[in-house]
Amino acid sequence: MYRGKRIFDLIAALLLTFFAIPPVLFFGFLLFLLSGQNPVFKQQRPGLHEKIFFIYKLRTLYKDNQRSAMVLGQVIRALSIDELPQLYNVLKGEMSIVGPRPLLREYLKLYNEEQKQRHLTKPGITGWAQVNGRNALDWRKRFKFDVWYVNNQSMTLDIKILVFTIKKAFRFKEVKPEGLKDDEKFKGNI
């Protein structure tokens, strides 16, 4: 991590939280009305040095009998509004604004030595892989971008990634649904 990254994260998270609270409350309330469920989803993910923490997101996956909530969830995901509750993780110091996206805990045992390098910095709400293809990238490319970021991170790069993220948030072509099909999950290096 570069010097001053935590200060950058705190300032950015506080500023972004000011703008994030209204859409999170609005869409969270709509999701609750449409589904009757808690709109906040939390899941264990590995962070810095593979330490496990709970990540927070707005729930975007619903069952077929909750069609209205499912459609709204797709819109929320396409606009990346579901990621905004992770600002809480940044304020707590578990995540950074920019870094490799925290993946599923079950993947830890599948990483090779190079891929494990992604845990040498805090995970981020957005990252180099997200602005270079979002989740439309194959696993090999995602890890390549994550490791590149770990080895080249700087405040200038973080600002560049933030600007690209804002632009990409309004492009929907690289967004896939939150739930991965079995053939899209990381299965290790074959």
For the chain, give percent helix, strand, coil, nearest 5.
60, 10, 30
pLDDT at 87: 97
Report the percentage of the chain scoring pLDDT > 90: 72
For the chain, the average pLDDT equals 90
Is residue 142 domain-resident?
A: yes
pLDDT, tens only, 138-168: 999 999 999 999 999 999 999 999 999 888 7
Is residue 158 domain-resident?
A: yes
Is residue 59 domain-resident?
A: yes
- 18-32, 58-72, 90-104, 112-126: segment of lowest average pLDDT: 58-72
Is residue 185 domain-resident?
A: no
> Which residue range(s) make up the domain with 112?
5-173
Is residue 188 domain-resident?
A: no
- Please, which residues have CB within 8 angstroms of residue 34's CB and are 6 or more apart in sequence? 66, 68, 69, 72
pLDDT, tens only, 5-29: 999 999 999 999 999 999 999 999 9
Is residue 108 domain-resident?
A: yes
Is residue 122 domain-resident?
A: yes
